[in-house]
Structure formats: C-alpha cells, structure tokens
Amino acid sequence: MEDCIFCKIIKKEIPSTIIYEDDKVIAFNDVNPAAPIHILVVPKKHIETLLDVSDQDNELISYVYQIINKIAKEKGFANNGFRVIVNCGKDSGQEVMHIHFHVLGGKKLGDKIV
Ligand code: 5GP
Ligand code: ZN
C-alpha cells in the first residue's frame, strides 16, 4: 500500500530499529514507546484491521504469535511477562491502518487494560 507507514517500513523506505524479520513478518521498536519494551510485530501482508483478517490469514496470524513467543524468549523478557495489544478501529485509537501487534513489557504493567 503506497501511503501506509508500515508498508514503507517493510520496504525500508522509512528507517526503523528492526528486532526480527523474515518473509512474512517484521518486528521493530515503536518510535514512541509506552513501556521499556514496546515492539510492534507486523505481518508484511497489508491487512488494514483485525476486521479484515480472513480465513486465508489463519496461518499468518498464528505465525505472528509464534514470532512474538520467539522474540520474547530470545530478548529475555518472556519469564517476566508481557502484554500483547491489537487496536482495531476508531474507539481503540488505531492510528496506523496496517494490522500490528503491540508487545509491551520491561516493567510491571498496569493491572487494568483501560
Ligand atoms: P496504533 O495506535 O495504530 O495501534 O499504533 C501505532 C503505533 O505505531 C504507535 O504506537 C506509534 O508510536 C507507532 N508508530 C507510528 N509511526 C511510526 C514510525 O514511523 N515508526 C515506528 N517505529 N513506529 C511508529
Ligand atoms: Zn501497509
């Protein structure tokens, strides 16, 4: 998608601190971190929101969770725990219309999600 920030990051047209990358997924540090660890895990396929995920994406979305698992273990924050958030649409405040998984950790997070 031409005007999509995350597609531009995927194409390396915008720089980012890449944590992990393969042919299906990229993970990079959030530019405006909300916690000491704030990684965005992004499927390379341009899917706008969670509502646009189809049956064809089942393997891909499952794969995203496998990659989050791998990153958490390899980066050493798996044991302390972390939170995964997907914003969807207006009320969630989703800003970037390319599905992404926020991985937050590195401190005791708030007990409530909202
Ligand atoms: P959303 O609110 O859409 O769920 O989250 C979008 C996230 O993308 C925000 O946390 C924001 O800080 C991050 N973000 C927006 N633009 C960029 C960028 O150009 N580079 C990086 N690394 N993160 C970005
Ligand atoms: Zn995109």
Q: Any idea what the CATH number is for the domain that residue 12 is in?
A: 3.30.428.10
Position 112 in a domain: no
Query: Which residues constitute the domain of residue 99?
Result: 5-105
110 domain residue, yes or no: no
From the number of C-beta atoms within 10 Å of its C-beta (0-12, 13-18, 19+), residue 49 rates as middle
For the CA of 97, the closest atom of ligand 1 is 3
* Number of domain units in the chain: 1
Query: Does 113 map to a domain?
Result: no
Q: How far, in Å, is the centroid of ligand 1 from the Cα of 111? A: 23
Look up 100 and say whether it is catalytic.
yes
For ligand 1, say whether the CB of 32 is within 6 Å of any of its atoms.
yes
Q: What are phi and psi of 55, to 5 degrees?
A: -55, -35
pLDDT in tens for each of the 114 residues of the chain? Answer: 889 999 999 999 999 999 999 999 999 999 999 999 999 999 999 999 999 999 999 999 999 999 999 999 999 999 999 999 999 999 999 999 999 999 999 999 998 887
Which residues are bridge partners to 40 per DSSP? 28, 102
Q: What is the pTM of this model?
A: 0.97
Express each pLDDT in 5-36 by its tens digit.
999 999 999 999 999 999 999 999 999 999 99
